[in-house]
Chains A and B, each alone.
Chain A
Amino acid sequence: MNAGIVVSAAIVAAVLAPSGVSAHHGWGSYDAANPLTIEGVIETSKFENPHATITVRANDKVWTVTLAPTSRMLARGASAEMIAVGANIKAYGYASRAEKDEMRAERITAGDKTIEMR
């Protein structure tokens, strides 16, 4: 069966591949006990699934900010323009315990618009 070939090939690929990568999904790997707010200019922006992500030059460093799935963002009125490169943004959320300088936003504010990400 073709499925067997596909699976075998995928296993070979998986075994050969180096491991030790942490994913950034769910909320479990974020430090919800210590929320933080960052504010700054968006340097890169990906309005993509599974989660939109931006990098923001804040006071201390450049944060990678994980947002929400694009369909949810759109449903709540957060378009790609809202998180366009060069825009000023405020993000309230939690730092990742797995990935350095990454945070997941609970909500973002641009101008007078605040959008919940959860």
Chain B
Amino acid sequence: MVEGAPQLLVDIEQSGFAAFVRQSPWFYAAANVVHILGLAIFFAAIAIMDVRLLGGLAACVPGDIVFPARRVAIGALLVQIASGLVLFAAEASHVALNPVFQIKLVLIAIALANVALVTAAMRPSMREQAGFRLPSLVRVGAIASLVLWLAVAAAGRLIAYL
């Protein structure tokens, strides 16, 4: 526990669940494994969406790629939140005060705002025919998406080293 940490974080860290996570020989490791597998699936879904938005896989109607991939991405994001909360709970006061973790949260917020922006901007184009080139705002958003989610992953990995 970090001295002077906000009470909420201390409460989380001292909860029975957090103690179980720390004391189980396998649960913490399992949450770590799930978190990296969830990331792989999440980013795969994000990448295939962004590739279509950028003009790759042009033989497909945009929505035929974006909509199924988005369902996978949302499912994987829920897995990331669940496994992430497990990892967070075990060391809540340390992790919350870690600067890289704070940067990671800000990056996630920006990435989610970008999702909202791109979702709105691409909506009219989803039923366009194969070969349709999406508006430049959507393509810029797709590049931002790839960069932001990779930065989120990098920040996540760095939490343990700073």
Do A and B share a complex? yes
**A residues touching B (Cβ–Cβ < 8 Å)?**
1, 3-4, 6-8, 10-11, 13-23, 25-26, 28-29, 46-50, 69-71, 74
Q: Which residue of A lies closest to B87 (CB)?
A: A50
* A13-B8, A28-B161 known; A7-B112 Cβ under 8 A: yes
B28 neighbours in A (Cβ, 8 Å): 49-50, 69
User: Are B94's CB and A23's CB within 8 A?
Assistant: yes
User: Could you mark each residue 42-73 of chain B with 1 if its beta carbon is under 8 Å from any beta carbon of chain A, else 0?
Assistant: 00000000000000000000000000000000
Is residue B125 contacting chain A, with contact meaning CB distance below 8 A?
no
Measured in the bound complex, the distance between the Cα atoms of B77 and A25 in whole Å is 26
A18 neighbours in B (Cβ, 8 Å): 4, 97
Is residue B21 contacting chain A, with contact meaning CB distance below 8 A?
yes
User: Are B105's CB and A3's CB within 8 A?
Assistant: no
User: Are B94's CB and A13's CB within 8 A?
Assistant: no
The 8 closest A-B pairs by CB, nearest first: A49-B28, A48-B22, A21-B97, A25-B160, A26-B161, A14-B102, A71-B25, A70-B25
Q: Which residue of B lies closest to A16 (CB)?
A: B6
Number of B residues with CB within 8 Å of any CB on chain A: 37
Q: How far is the CB of A34 from chain B (nearest CB, A)?
A: 20
Is residue B90 contacting chain A, with contact meaning CB distance below 8 A?
yes
**B residues touching A (Cβ–Cβ < 8 Å)?**
2, 4-6, 8-9, 21-29, 74, 77-78, 81, 90-91, 94, 96-99, 101-102, 105-106, 108-109, 112, 159-162
5 contacts between A and B (CB under 8 A): A11-B105, A13-B8, A28-B161, A47-B23, A50-B90
Given A17-B6, A21-B98, 18 extra CB contacts under 8 A: A3-B81, A3-B112, A7-B109, A7-B112, A8-B109, A11-B105, A13-B6, A13-B9, A17-B96, A22-B162, A23-B94, A28-B161, A48-B22, A49-B24, A50-B22, A50-B28, A70-B23, A70-B25
Measured in the bound complex, the distance between the Cα atoms of B160 and A49 in whole Å is 13
A49 neighbours in B (Cβ, 8 Å): 21-24, 27-29, 90
B5 neighbours in A (Cβ, 8 Å): 17
Measured in the bound complex, the distance between the Cα atoms of B9 and A50 in whole Å is 17
A46 neighbours in B (Cβ, 8 Å): 22
Q: Which residue of B lies closest to A46 (CB)?
A: B22
B81 neighbours in A (Cβ, 8 Å): 3, 6
Measured in the bound complex, the distance between the Cα atoms of B24 and A19 in whole Å is 29
